[in-house]
Amino acid sequence: MLISLEELELHRVVVSETYASGALDYHGAEFKQLGPIKVSAAAELTGQEIHIQGHIGGRLWTECDRCLTKVEMPVERDFDLYYRPLKAIAREEEVEVPADELNVGFFSDSGIALEEVVAEQVILSVPMKVVCRVDCRGLCPVCGADRNRVNCGCATRQSGAESPFSSLLEP
């Protein structure tokens, strides 16, 4: 759905959309959408900027970064975004963006695709490192067994053995 400048010049736009699995492009992110992602938002024109406020909700599936088991994650996120026309910053030379404007996005053409806003907010809701639980022990570096399920008995590496930093241990 396109939130167009023409429509925003006339009135505030209120949106309630549901995106099925596979409808949004997460640009190669390593998670999958479980069921629909629901978004409710309102957009308005404030001067030259488009201001969008809303909420997204849904569920994602990904893998634990330590043990590779499946992890279901809820997505519940409020957002409050500002977008300026790309022509406001489009220049040939590099421009330093002031710190107070780091949260401002840019749009080109005639408006903003709501799908891109929702996909961006879903991606931002996923932590950098996903763990299935706080005390996850991960995979054994020797045999690859899930140490949360079995005690494989593999000997851990001797301190300093086969390490590129072993020479630092010598006095």
Q: Among 2-11, 85-94, 97-106, which stretch is predicted with the lowest mean pLDDT? A: 85-94
In 3-state terms, what secondary structure has residue 59?
strand
Q: Is residue 154 scored above 90 in pLDDT? A: no
- In this prediction, residue 152 carries a pLDDT of 87
Domain boundaries, the chain: 2-136, 139-171
Q: Is the separation of the CB atoms in 59 and 73 below 8 Å?
A: yes
Q: How far apart are CA 118 and CA 81, in angstroms?
A: 11
Lowest mean pLDDT among 42-51, 100-109, 127-136: 100-109
Rounded-to-integer distance, Cα 154 and Cα 41, Å: 53
The yes-or-no verdict on residue 134 having pLDDT over 70 is yes
> What global pTM score does this model have?
0.79
Distance CA 115, CA 26 (A): 10
If DSSP states are collapsed to H, E and C, what string results for 75-138?
A: EEEEEEEEEEEHHHCCCCCCCCCCHHHCCEEEECCCEEEHHHHHHHHHHHHCCCCCCCCCCCCC
Q: How many CA atoms lie within 13 A of 110 on its CB side?
A: 6
How much is the mean pLDDT over the chain? 88
More confident residue, 31 or 94: 31
pLDDT at 76: 96
Measure the CA–CA gap between 136 and 117, rounded to whole angstroms. 33
Those residues whose C-beta lies under 8 Å from the C-beta of residue 81, and which sit 6 or more positions away, are 51, 52, 53, 103, 105, 117
Look at residue 160 in the predicted model and tell me its pLDDT.
47
The residue whose two tokens read 């067994």 is 145
Q: What is the pLDDT of residues 64-89, one digit of tens each?
A: 999 999 999 999 999 999 998 877 66
- Cα–Cα dist 73/79, whole Å: 18
